[in-house]
Amino acid sequence: MPQGNIRSKQQSLSGHTYICLFDFASGFYACEVEKKSRPYTAFYVEGKGYFWYAKLPFGLTGAPSTFANMTALHLDNLIADGTIELFVDDGSSADGDFDTMLVKLTRILDRVRSRNLSLSAAKSEFFMSEGIFAGGKISKEGVTVDPAKLTAIVEWKQPGDTLNLASFVGFTGHFKDLIRNYARIKGPLRNLLKSVPLPQNYTKLTYRKAMELFKLADRWTLDHTKVFVALKKALVSEPVLKAPRWDGSSFIITTDGCKEGFTAVVAQRFEVVQPNGTTTYKTHPVGFASKLTSTSEQNYKPFLLEFAALKFGLDKFSDMIWGFPVEIETDCQALRDVIANDKLNAAHSRWRDGVLAHHIIDVRHIPGKLNVVADGLRRMWEGQDRVAGDGSEWTVSEDWEAVMRLVNDIFGVSIADRMLGSTEVSNWEALSERFVNEPVFREVLDPLRVLESPGDEKAKHKAKHKVAQYMVEGNRLWKVGGNDGIRGRARVECITRKEAIELARLQHGDAGHWGRDLVKLALMDRIWSPRLDESVMEAITNCPECKNFSAAHIHALLNPIT
């Protein structure tokens, strides 16, 4: 189910006196995943086992079109007659007459109620003169860029020193071919930079120090203010800034992050016909964003700062880029490698999943000296004090659920009876006899037996604490969650040391006479036994083939020479 042309949707809503906006609650979780597709969404929870999604999660390739199909089925005739316009979970209706608008709104709300759909009250606005729909500002005057996407430029404060001024001039210089008479306009600012007394043969550190110490308070005039405002105005208007296109063209997200601040620029490639008739493509920005880092963000490691900056950019422009191809540009090589790595720890995986929930088609590393746009915006925060509204009061969330306004109670997980002891009658005498020489397991069996039998609740609570990682099922003792937090195993069987030695002997011989570490890893996927290292070493030491041929010649048995 295609999303439709966003630009045409926005245009059909513009030009009206009254605009109503609403947002479907819970997002994609309003859709069910087909039963045959649920195993493909499985994930592992340490200590609990494997789960799969019954409701449609974010991050799946077909999630936007599936959600669009669901809303289209329920609101079919309302979409067809122009009563409502939809894009993913954003909806809007507009009209020039109050009574007609009220009739449209009544039809929409009645349909939502009859089809058991839900709207977010916090995200709903009624009878507005203007509003934000699908990343654009719609009003009676037409469709314009969302002002929130331009705050990074509009709120760029007057430079207090030449270091900040150099960042601004370098940033605007990236678009010099799009700003008419750029060299003449920036002249007064360039002259200020030339007046800085720099030492001969200066280094990068001495250059930054000299630029930072050269204050502009006594040198800044009205002419400088006019140039500063004129360049900012040029950056947020045609021909530099373009309105986004939702025709399948990819969005380019360029980010940069440091301890002072995060910045993100979203751009697209636009076709330009030259005077000679040839066609070329120019990259134009369609939005700018930046924020001052919070107190906790300042303590991030360098690559995590870049990760947070990327997440900030994707979150900021999500209503514009969601569901469309996205290209990422970063000057952090480590960030590019981490995004391509699917073997991360839990914390970094959350950052990665939040990024990959978008339709990422390419991740490119660009050298820092070429990342002048994002780097220039980021430097605007250097030396700035924290004030309300600069972004320092909030921290970028590593989870995509927070940005997508999902409910947190996705599903409830309770401990099943069999996790604490099977409901079937277990043969405790046989288990006790089997583990009579295993003190570790003997200490577990008695509390498990208490849980299965009726008795004092206080004793059961105490027993439950002792056996949190064990269960009995099928007259066998199991350890829940495997042996470590890296290899995802729902449970492994507990066996005696004698049984472990025999299994190690079979594993060692059948697998080509592996060494201790490989045999141990293979066994840990299936069993848990105390002193497993000793059991494996005893099995390998007593292997007759290894004794006779030694490790250096054991594989010659597989390739006879006679």
Among the candidates 145, 179, 200, a domain finishes at 145
Q: What pLDDT was estimated at residue 476?
A: 86
Q: What pLDDT was estimated at residue 384?
A: 61
Ramachandran category for residue 247: left, alpha or beta (phi over 0 → left; psi -120 to 50 → alpha): alpha
In tens, the pLDDT along 190-200 reads 888 888 888 77
- Whether residue 410 is contained in a domain is answered as no
Q: Is the pLDDT of residue 413 over 80?
A: no
Percent of the chain with pLDDT over 90: 3
User: Do the Cβ atoms of 138 and 130 come closer than 8 Å?
Assistant: yes
In tens, the pLDDT along 233-266 reads 877 766 667 777 777 788 999 888 888 788 888 8
| Mean pLDDT of the 336-365 span | 77
* Highest-pLDDT range among 101-115, 264-278, 507-521: 101-115
Q: Is the pLDDT of residue 453 over 80?
A: no
Say which range, 72-76, 173-177, 276-280, 326-330, has the weakest mean pLDDT: 173-177
- Whether residue 313 is contained in a domain is answered as yes
User: Do the Cβ atoms of 21 and 105 come closer than 8 Å?
Assistant: no
Residues 121 and 223 occupy one common structural domain = no
**pLDDT tier, 487 (very low <50, low <70, confident <90, very high otherwise):** very low
Q: What pLDDT was estimated at residue 230?
A: 85
User: Do the Cβ atoms of 527 and 494 come closer than 8 Å?
Assistant: yes
Q: What size, in residues, is the chain?
A: 562
- Whether residue 163 is contained in a domain is answered as yes
Coil vs helix vs strand at 437: coil
Distance (Å, whole) CA 75 – CA 143: 25
Question: Tokens 């099922």 belong to which residue?
Answer: 473
Distance (Å, whole) CA 221 – CA 212: 19
Residues 141 and 170 occupy one common structural domain = no
- Distance from the Cα of residue 281 to its chain's centroid: 30
With vertex at residue 204, the alpha carbon angle to CA 200 and CA 206, rounded to the nearest 5 degrees, is 60
Higher pLDDT, 547 or 265: 265
Q: What is the DSSP letter of 423?
A: S
Q: What pLDDT was estimated at residue 388?
A: 63
- Whether residue 1 is contained in a domain is answered as no
Higher pLDDT, 557 or 26: 26
Residues 85 and 160 occupy one common structural domain = no
61 contacts: CB under 8 Å, gap ≥ 6:
359
Residues 240 and 330 occupy one common structural domain = yes
Say which range, 143-152, 416-425, 429-438, 537-546, has the weakest mean pLDDT: 416-425
Say which range, 38-47, 209-218, 362-371, 526-535, has the weakest mean pLDDT: 362-371
**pLDDT tier, 496 (very low <50, low <70, confident <90, very high otherwise):** very high
Residues 200 and 302 occupy one common structural domain = yes
Residues 387 and 463 occupy one common structural domain = no
Q: What pLDDT was estimated at residue 375?
A: 63
Residues 461 and 534 occupy one common structural domain = no
Note down the domain range covering 91.
Answer: 6-145
Cross-strand partners of 528: 494
| Mean pLDDT of the 221-230 span | 88
Q: Is the pLDDT of residue 51 over 70?
A: yes
Residues 312 and 359 occupy one common structural domain = yes
User: Do the Cβ atoms of 500 and 509 come closer than 8 Å?
Assistant: no
Give how many domains the chain has, as a whole number: 4
The tokens of 193 are what? 């930079």
Residues 487 and 503 occupy one common structural domain = no
Residues 484 and 501 occupy one common structural domain = no
User: Do the Cβ atoms of 228 and 158 come closer than 8 Å?
Assistant: yes
Higher pLDDT, 60 or 489: 60
Residues 90 and 126 occupy one common structural domain = yes
Among the candidates 123, 145, 167, a domain finishes at 145
- Mean of per-residue pLDDT scores for the chain: 77
The CATH number that applies at residue 270 is 3.30.420.10
- Whether residue 409 is contained in a domain is answered as no
Q: What pLDDT was estimated at residue 347?
A: 66
Say which range, 58-67, 119-128, 207-216, has the weakest mean pLDDT: 58-67
| Mean pLDDT of the 439-458 span | 80
- Whether residue 383 is contained in a domain is answered as yes
Among the candidates 404, 438, 468, a domain finishes at 404
Distance (Å, whole) CA 420 – CA 477: 11
- Whether residue 246 is contained in a domain is answered as yes
Q: What pLDDT was estimated at residue 144?
A: 67
The CATH number that applies at residue 66 is 3.30.70.270
The tokens of 504 are what? 């190690």
Coil vs helix vs strand at 232: helix
User: Do the Cβ atoms of 84 and 75 come closer than 8 Å?
Assistant: yes
Ramachandran category for residue 58: left, alpha or beta (phi over 0 → left; psi -120 to 50 → alpha): beta
Residue 328: closest CA among 358, 300, 354, 292:
358
Residues 350 and 474 occupy one common structural domain = no
In tens, the pLDDT along 384-409 reads 666 566 666 667 766 544 444 443 33
- Whether residue 447 is contained in a domain is answered as yes
Distance (Å, whole) CA 87 – CA 522: 50
